[in-house]
Amino acid sequence: MEFSIKTGNAEKLRSNCVIVGVYESHELSNAAQAIDDASDGYITNILKRGDLDGKLDATLMLHNVPGTQSERVLLVGLGKPGDFAEKQYCKAVRASVKAVVASGASEAVSFLAELPVKKLSIHWKVAHLTEVALDATYRFDAIKRKKEAAEEKSSKKCIKKLTINITDAKELSAAEAGLAEGKALAAGISLTKDLGNLPPNVCTPTYLAEQAVALGKRYGLQIEVLERDALKKLGMGSFLGVAQGSAEPPKLIVLQHLKGKKNQKPVVLVGKGITFDTGGVSLKPGAEMDEMKYDMCGAASVLGTFRAIAEMNLSLNVIGIIPTCENMPDGRATRPGDVLTSMSGLTIEVLNTDAEGRLILCDALTYAERFEPSAVVDIATLTGACVIALGHHASGLFSNNEDLAKELLQAGETALDRAWHMPMWDDYQPQLDSNFADMANIGGRAAGSITAACFLSRFTKKYEWAHLDIAGTAWKSGKEKGGTGRPVPLLTEFLVARAKKANK
Ligand code: BES
Ligand code: MN
Ligand code: ZN
């Protein structure tokens, strides 16, 4: 989809489709009012008849509206004027884009960015319009037969060009900046979705490493891929313990986006990259096991975030660390009862081989120390318990630092990609006691997402650290099965805010 920004009049411009908003009270947005005036009350009449109630995300497509030059006018319900805020804005944008696609119009001009949204800048509105439009039209066709994918692409039902109209020409540069940011973020989200959606026989640890190398080439990032021998030398016994049951070789991928000041301490992002989680010898039940291909979504969100910030050329130092392998049952696989020695020297009794995410993350978190980070954030589809606690709306946030937690929560609010702060009190730590090693890798059924975070906290004492459990937010099940791209919006916003602070 191509984008552009213009200042124009809704009733005068020539387009396949003009998108304007209408409130529930039958109050018209400025653009809708202009069309109504030019058409002798055409819209008011329709509203009076009750064809559109103006409820949020309801739409009505009109054709050949008198007094206008466009083929179609799409009315989008905005809900009550007093309730119209960030979320409602994005919902209306999403509904409008879906309706345009369904109509077959290949080009549209949206007047939604002109709507007053409490305290929101034109930059925010254009950025989110762009991001939501690209998100709503995302399709995964990477592994369809080439012919079919091409046919789908060239078929009429896709928007080729979307113009965002703004009222004030003085706002043009802010709008352009918002457009660039929205596009960059959408590119990152799309990469994260693609990697999650790919089948696990394609998206292997080796494939993820290749994608990182490709990203590095494209954007001028330093990429390093550590192979099994190097991991052995580093003493990553915990990570290698998970990997040893798989025929796919493990990789530790390190990405460096060093566009901040030379002496600026980097932010480190660590992403869980289990490309398939069978549970290992503690085998998972069969139902929905295919969804465990999404167990690399932490890794995918690190790669997606790197794509977004590289595309923005964000002036900040950011390091990405991705431990990636499969968790398979095999003659050589780790057994329940095995004790592994982590890179930190701490020993771990593996009571359940299905609690493997923490086993690969702990060594990556120890590895992070060498970068003397200003903060470390790990992202992982870590526990089913987090889904039970928070469902699919919020990611679980755990941290050893209140300020860092607040920063991430705020970023999630701003990006509409929320997290919820969970407790990590010392009271939970004894659940990890082991009779045979420094700790066990599971802490019983109670508070499963918290004891998983407590496990990681033992390896993150040397820096400010936060952990995002994205088990409930990274993908959708059921009819709409697919990666969501979360929490790329949260992470990108967090880094953008850090860059703003650092470059003040
Ligand atoms: N990848 C899973 C977590 C998961 C499960 C994410 C379901 C999304 C949906 C993780 O490796 C895992 O298996 N965790 C176990 C931990 C348990 C053995 C302590 C879990 O949550 O059941
Ligand atoms: Mn598991
Ligand atoms: Zn897992």
* Mean pLDDT for the stretch of residues 227-237: 98
Is 109 within 8 Å of 115 (Cβ atoms)?
no
For residue 471, the ligand closest to its alpha carbon is 1
For ligand 1, whether the C-beta of 354 sits within 6 Å is yes
Residue 378 β-bridge partners = 270, 467
Ligand 1 pocket test: pick from 334, 379, 383, 387 the residue with the most ligand atoms within 8 Å of its Cβ.
383
Q: Nearest Cα to 17, choosing from 86, 118, 103? A: 103
* Mean pLDDT for the stretch of residues 462-473: 99
Going along the chain from its start, the domains and CATH numbers come out as 2-166 (3.40.220.10), 186-502 (3.40.630.10)
Task: Tell me what pLDDT residue 157 has.
Answer: 79
127 contact partners, CB below 8 Å, separation of at least 6: 178, 179, 181, 182, 185
For ligand 1, whether the C-beta of 131 sits within 6 Å is no
Task: Tell me what pLDDT residue 153 has.
Answer: 67
The one-character DSSP state at 418 is -
Torsion of CA 186, 191, 196, 200, to 10 degrees: 170
* Mean pLDDT for the stretch of residues 300-317: 98
Task: Tell me what pLDDT residue 147 has.
Answer: 75
Please say if the pLDDT value at position 20 is more than 90: yes
Task: Tell me what pLDDT residue 156 has.
Answer: 60
Torsion of CA 321, 326, 327, 329, to 10 degrees: -160
CA dist., res. 501 & res. 504, Å (int)? 5
| pTM, full prediction | 0.97
For 51-99, the DSSP string reads: S----TT-EEEEES-TT--SSEEEEEE---GGG--HHHHHHHHHHHHHH
pLDDT tens per residue, range 157-172: 789 999 999 999 999 9
More confident residue, 158 or 418: 418
CA dist., res. 428 & res. 123, Å (int)? 44
Please say if the pLDDT value at position 143 is more than 90: no
CA dist., res. 457 & res. 439, Å (int)? 12
The one-character DSSP state at 334 is P
For ligand 1, whether the C-beta of 352 sits within 6 Å is yes
For ligand 1, whether the C-beta of 387 sits within 6 Å is yes
Residue nearest to atom 14 of ligand 1 (CA): 383
pLDDT tens per residue, range 48-74: 999 999 999 999 999 999 999 999 999
Catalytic residue flag (residue 251) = no
The ligand 1 atom nearest the CA atom of 472? 8
Catalytic residue flag (residue 358) = yes
Please say if the pLDDT value at position 389 is more than 80: yes
pLDDT tens per residue, range 334-375: 999 999 999 999 999 999 999 999 999 999 999 999 999 999
The ligand 1 atom nearest the CA atom of 327? 11
CA dist., res. 20 & res. 432, Å (int)? 57
Task: Tell me what pLDDT residue 84 has.
Answer: 96
Band of residue 152 on the pLDDT scale cut at 50, 70, 90: low
Q: Point out the least confidently predicted range of 148-157, 161-170, 290-299.
A: 148-157
Is 375 within 8 Å of 395 (Cβ atoms)?
no
* Mean pLDDT for the stretch of residues 328-335: 98
Q: Nearest Cα to 91, choosing from 115, 71, 65? A: 115
Q: Nearest Cα to 416, choosing from 118, 136, 133, 85? A: 85
Task: Tell me what pLDDT residue 462 has.
Answer: 98
Task: Tell me what pLDDT residue 142 has.
Answer: 79
Please say if the pLDDT value at position 144 is more than 90: no
For ligand 1, whether the C-beta of 289 sits within 6 Å is no
* Mean pLDDT for the stretch of residues 224-230: 98
* Side chain identity at residue 151, one-letter code: E
Please say if the pLDDT value at position 154 is more than 80: no
